[in-house]
Amino acid sequence: MRRFVWASVALALVLAYPLVFSSPFQQRLGALVLLYAIAASAWNIVGGYAGQVSVGHVVFFGCGAYSAMAAYAHFGLSPLVGIPVGIVISVAISAVVGVPTLRLSGHYFSMATIAVAELARLIVTNTDYLGAGVGLSGPTVPRNIFDLSFISALPYYYLFLAVLAITLGITWWMASNRMGFYLRAIRDSERAARSLGAPASRTKLYAFMLSAGLTSVAGALYAMMFGFIDPESGLGILISVKILIMAALGGAGLLFGPLVGAAILVPLEEISNNLLGGKGAGLTFVVYGAIIVLIARFQPGGILTLIKRLWARPRKTPTAIAVPGASHAP
């Protein structure tokens, strides 16, 4: 019951945010938080729940973004048409990368994802059809509502909120079903899970494909909001970094972890860019690198895990906290 109250309060706050903080900057900030939360939540499915750390997730983001822009630039269609195309291409790429590497140890998967992202960036940079180094633009003046081209960030805010809700819904549904149990078993001990008959490689692959498809939707939404995509903003490694760090900071493998991470890091980046200007870009990523190292070194579970632990501390005996998951004889 208390859980339900908290959830309603949180939902009400999220719904009311752009109406209370109604300056264009604040609304745009809110929309960006939600957008990155979608991408990071999608990453979370494979990186958090399946424990396979993709460091090239931008390739799926780029697929969505480029498909949406190409639908407009080449066929004069609504960028929305590009979304299913982007999903199909992303899922295909994830299968090509995932099938061979998910049978091997997790390092191979990470190396393959970084290589495929770079490969995609190089190919797109040299493909005139996709705008090469210059990029593709969306509609400058919206022809109708299906172009999803708005001046205000408010419509984007609610659109992204809806997509985020769907993404989190899918994640929750996945985690509370057979697949979620398989994934948790595999993450804890792949050998044990396999020996009990869990189809480890296949389950990880499904998680990767699902994650890829959802990430591509985030990419398409990004392209629609900015009306423009180029190799750096659509396929640069720094997008992968942002997606990954938001999920890891908030709490990888937790439903709301990526949202918390995005809510912390997106404002931080916007503010530091505004304060420091161009010089801030480099410094922002120095800080990002430091945060990632610190999370890995001290708190791999992210902020939410830390909060949960601190929250639980006063109520339990110290021994119960020192060995979480250990079974005590009654």
Partner 1 sequence: MSTILAQVIVGGLLLGAIYALFSSGLTLVWGMMNIVNFAHGDFVMLGMYVAYVVWSLFGAGPLLGAPLAALLLATVGIVVYFGLIREIMKGPMLAQILGTFGLALLLRYSAFWWFGANFLTLPENIVGGTFDILGLRIQASRLLAGVVALLVTLGLHLLLTRTSLGSKMLAVAEDSTAAQLMGIRPDTMQAIAWAIAAGATGIAGALIATFFYIVPTVGETLAIVAFVTVSLGGFGSVPGALMAGLLIGVIESLSAYLIGAVYKDIVVYSLFLGFLWFRPQGLMGKS
Contacting residues toward partner 1, per CB under 8 A: 47-48, 51, 53, 55, 96-97, 99-101, 104-108, 110-112, 114-116, 118-119, 122-123, 126, 187, 237, 241, 244, 248, 252, 279, 282-283, 285-286, 288-297, 300
Amino acid present at 143: R
CB closer to partner 1 out of 26 and 125? 125
State the minimum distance, in angstroms, from the CB of residue 206 to partner 1: 19
CB closer to partner 1 out of 100 and 199? 100
State the minimum distance, in angstroms, from the CB of residue 83 to partner 1: 26
Per 3-state DSSP, the chain is made up of helix, strand and coil in percentages (nearest 5) of 80, 0, 20
CB closer to partner 1 out of 139 and 236? 236
State the minimum distance, in angstroms, from the CB of residue 113 to partner 1: 10
CB closer to partner 1 out of 23 and 105? 105
Q: Is 240 exposed, middle or buried (0-12, 13-18, 19+ CB in 10 A)?
A: buried
State the minimum distance, in angstroms, from the CB of residue 277 to partner 1: 13
CB closer to partner 1 out of 126 and 152? 126
Q: Cβ distance 69 to 138 under 8 Å?
A: yes
CB closer to partner 1 out of 297 and 328? 297
Amino acid present at 102: L
Amino acid present at 304: L
Nearby residues of 218 by Cβ (< 8 Å), 6 or more positions away? 35, 36, 38, 39, 42, 61, 64, 163
CA quadruple 216, 168, 180, 322: dihedral sign: positive
CB closer to partner 1 out of 102 and 161? 102
Nearby residues of 100 by Cβ (< 8 Å), 6 or more positions away? 112
Full 3-state SS string of 227-276: CEECHHHHHCHHHHHHHHHHHHHHCCCCCCHHHHHHHHHHHHHHHHHHHH
State the minimum distance, in angstroms, from the CB of residue 252 to partner 1: 6
Strand ranges inside the chain, DSSP E = 136-137, 228-229
Q: Cβ distance 79 to 71 under 8 Å?
A: yes
State the minimum distance, in angstroms, from the CB of residue 94 to partner 1: 13
CB closer to partner 1 out of 226 and 285? 285
Quote the CA–CA distance of 161 and 156 in Å, as a whole number.
8
State the minimum distance, in angstroms, from the CB of residue 103 to partner 1: 8
User: Residue 300 corresponds to which tokens in the numbers above?
Assistant: 């791999």
